[in-house]
Structure formats: C-alpha cells, structure tokens
Amino acid sequence: MIITLTTDFGWSEYVGAMKGVILSIAPEARIVDITHSIRSYDIRHGAYVVGSVCRRFPEGSIHVVVVDPGVGTRRRGVVIEAGGHTYVGPDNGLFTFLKDVRRVIELQVEAASRTFHGRDVFAPVAAAIAKGRKPEEFGRVVEPQPVRLEIQEPRRRGRWIEGEVLCVDTFGNVITNIPEEMLDAEFGAELEVELSLRRVRVPFLESYGFAEPGRLLALIGSEGYLELAVNQGNAGSMLGVRGGERLRLCVVS
C-alpha cells in the first residue's frame, strides 16, 4: 500500500516522525515523499500539488497532506475519498482541486499533542486505513464538500483573457488558471500581461530554454496552463507576484 507525504515541513525531522508512526502501525506501507517544500503555510501551493501530482499515483494510494497553519485551532481534519484515492489532512482548502469527491469523513480523534497533528492524527489514521480499517471508524461522514478556495474562473473579455495566478511553484514559475485552449497564439507571439502592480510584454515560447537565461517568457506549463517563467530564474520574485492575484493578458503581435 502506497502512502504519500506532502507537507510544508521543509524536509525536517518532523517528516521522519510521521514516517516512524506510519511504519509502526503499517510496517508494509510504502512511504513516498511527494514534497516537503510547499511554501510555508501556503495552502494554495499545497492545493495545486494535491490537484496535479497526487492523481498521478496508482489508484488506491493514500495521500497525507499537511499544510496546517491552523493546527490546534478549530479547523477540522478530514479523510476524503475521491477519484479512487484517499486523502487525509486538514480541511482548509488543500483539497480544492479534487474531482469526483465521493465521501468526506470529519475526523474525531484525540490527539496526543496540540501542535503536531501530522504525526498524531493524520499519519496514524492513514496508516490504519492502509491496514484495512475504515475511515468512518475515525469520525463521522459529512457532506462530501471539502472547503474550497475561491478561484475566479478564467474568461474572455474582448481581446483580453482574464484569470488568476493559481500559485507560484517552488521554482518561482507563475502558474495561471488560463488553459492552453483559451490562448490563441503561435510560438513567437508577444503577449501583454497585466498584473496588479505591473504590465509586461513577454514572448510566448515553446519551453524555458527558448528564452535567454534570465529573461521572462510565457509558455504552456506541464499541466496545460499558461505560465510566466524566467529561464534559469524566478519569475515570482522578479514580478512580485503571489498566488491568488488577478491577471489579464492579450496577444499583441
């Protein structure tokens, strides 16, 4: 049984503690680190990883996801069954992009600590499920509606396409929610992009390596969405952009 881990713990010792707990309960579990480099407390970044990476694992995988600035406060912990996978973590928006949510179980588990539910709640629940226990043994079934971040749907307005910055990834690539299909541009075209504080013109290219190192470009990222990037650099810092910001753009040539 595969149990994946996605956290903002920075590859620290606390990741190891979660692994120890899992293996003590389910010694045969195969633990796979997805990443522990989610930007600290950036639920939006975590949600993007859950939506784009977890589904690439085999059906039946269990995904423990912990980006949890509200640990110990009133946010609820959940187990979610969606698309043949099981997700365990705090219900704070991390599960925004899950499709086909079949069940949500609100966890009602006594935690040994108030500060580390990754180790004391989410890891042991995931391990117990891997051993064959049922999620509903750990809480009550509620409406299959996880908390979802508000995401503005992309739309056309005249020659402009309006959308938002889904998140800035670990490399600083600015990932928008504008799908490839909405953009009617050929490679080499120039785009005008308006962000909250800046307006830039960038070439629309096939891949990072088509721009000079250090130069801004637009491209279709590996998930099929428009992305602003700097070849061998960090577009998020260069542009001062954060996840959730609105943007609009049009093709100028």
Distance CA 122, CA 40 (A): 18
Per CB under 8 A, 69 contacts a copy of itself: yes
- Sites for a copy of itself among residues 173-192 (CB under 8 A): none
Per CB under 8 A, 237 contacts a copy of itself: no
Per CB under 8 A, 119 contacts a copy of itself: yes
Handedness of CA 160, 163, 164, 165 (dihedral sign): negative
Residue of 27, 150, 181, 184 that binds a copy of itself (CB under 8 A): 27
| Stretch of 93-101, 130-138, 142-150, 169-177 lying at the interface with a copy of itself (CB under 8 A) | 169-177
| Unique residue bearing structure tokens 């890891």 | 123
46, 94 contact by CB (below 8 A) = yes
Backbone φ and ψ of 183, nearest 5°: -95, 120
Per CB under 8 A, 7 contacts a copy of itself: no
Smaller CB separation from a copy of itself, 14 or 160: 14
Per CB under 8 A, 72 contacts a copy of itself: yes
Smaller CB separation from a copy of itself, 48 or 95: 48
List Cβ neighbours of 132 (8 Å cut-off, separation of 6 or more).
none
Structure tokens that stand for 5 in this block = 């881990």
Handedness of CA 169, 48, 31, 110 (dihedral sign): positive
| Unique residue bearing structure tokens 């993007």 | 48
Backbone φ and ψ of 112, nearest 5°: -70, -30
* Least Å from the CB of residue 243 to a copy of itself: 14
98, 50 contact by CB (below 8 A) = yes
Residue of 70, 84, 188, 240 that binds a copy of itself (CB under 8 A): 70
| Stretch of 67-75, 125-133, 157-165, 235-243 lying at the interface with a copy of itself (CB under 8 A) | 67-75
| Stretch of 3-11, 133-141, 153-161, 235-243 lying at the interface with a copy of itself (CB under 8 A) | 3-11
Per CB under 8 A, 54 contacts a copy of itself: yes
Per CB under 8 A, 208 contacts a copy of itself: yes
Distance CA 240, CA 251 (A): 22
Structure tokens that stand for 37 in this block = 């480099």
Per CB under 8 A, 6 contacts a copy of itself: yes
Per CB under 8 A, 241 contacts a copy of itself: no
Distance CA 32, CA 250 (A): 41
| Stretch of 48-56, 101-109, 126-134, 143-151 lying at the interface with a copy of itself (CB under 8 A) | 48-56
From residue 235, how far is each of 6, 198, 202 by CA, in Å?
A: 24, 13, 12
Q: Footprint of a copy of itself on this chain (CB under 8 A)?
A: 2, 4, 6, 10-17, 19-21, 23-24, 27, 31-38, 40-41, 48-49, 52-58, 69-73, 112-116, 119-120, 169-171, 206-210, 219-222, 224, 232
